[in-house]
Amino acid sequence: MTAEAIPDSWRDALDPVLAAPEARRLGGWLRSEEESGKQVFPPRGQRLAALAMTPLDKVRVVILGQDPYHGPGQAHGLAFSVRDGVRLPPSLVNIYKELESDLGVHAPPSGNLERWARQGVLLLNNTLTVESGLAGSHAGRGWDAITDACVDAVVKQGLPTVFILWGSHAQKKASRVKGLGAGGHHLVLQSPHPSPLSAHRGFFGSRPFSQANAFLERHGRGTIEWGGEGDKG
């Protein structure tokens, strides 16, 4: 489908959807786009990094975005994250502003969110690839079925989980969480996207980090250390 290795913990959940015609069409389309000379982000081998870094049975929080950053050197497979040394994109600047306001911790010096992923925060975009310079260019090409299956797998585990849905594209998955989450096992937090175009319409002041930790602690799943080195989130 995508020439990506499916992490073992996600294989049972994803194998059926990856065998479907839609996934095969997606794989063929991505290959043709790249063969025609178009630059696709993130590069091959990084498109399922969120799943590789956060095994299914370790997921405590799901943060859903729209699609990867479309600038060179930014996207590396984790929603909203950039590698060490890469300038913070505006959306991540706003996420860190809300983090400081919410928890009173210092914003981390790096935009690399692998430290969140390793604590059980699944950083998943609705669409997992994008053409260079063209936000939303790969929407509707078949990624939805795959990311829907990821969300379904987390919900069906039945472990109390926080779903943080930023922006209208991510919020389309809210019905999946609520429809499958029998017994109210999960917390769904929805707000506008942290982009500068929408952050002031309700993202700022939404306090997702403190709400997530309060829910996790109440259900015996610990808390996430959201801040930088030495901070207690």
Q: What is the DSSP letter of 88?
A: P
CA distances from 114 to 82, 149, 158, 198 (A): 9, 22, 25, 25
User: pLDDT confidence of 169, banded at 50, 70, 90?
Assistant: confident
Mean pLDDT of 151-162: 94
Q: Model confidence over 41-80: pLDDT tens digits?
A: 999 999 999 999 999 999 999 999 999 999 999 999 999 9
pLDDT of residue 151: 95
Q: Is a pLDDT exceeding 90 seen at residue 3? A: no
User: pLDDT confidence of 116, banded at 50, 70, 90?
Assistant: very high
Q: Is a pLDDT exceeding 70 seen at residue 1? A: no
Question: Catalytic annotation on 148?
Answer: no
Q: Model confidence over 196-226: pLDDT tens digits?
A: 999 999 999 999 999 999 999 999 999 999 9
pLDDT of residue 28: 93
- Which residues lie closer than 8 Å to 111 by C-beta, 6 or more apart? 81, 82, 83, 84, 86, 87, 88, 89, 92
pLDDT of residue 230: 40
pLDDT of residue 4: 72
Q: Note the pTM of the prediction, 2 decimals.
A: 0.93
**d(C-alpha 41, C-alpha 33), whole Å:** 12
Q: Is a pLDDT exceeding 90 seen at residue 110? A: yes
Which strand (E) or helix (H) includes residue 149? helix 143-157
The mean pLDDT value of the chain amounts to 91
User: pLDDT confidence of 231, banded at 50, 70, 90?
Assistant: very low
Percent of all residues in the chain with a pLDDT value above 70, rounded to a whole number = 94
- Between 101 and 4, residue with greater pLDDT: 101
Which member of 8, 67, 84, 144 is catalytic?
A: 67
Strands 40-41 and 121-125: unpaired
**d(C-alpha 69, C-alpha 144), whole Å:** 17
End-to-end CA distance of the chain: 39
Contact 69, 89 (CB under 8 A): yes
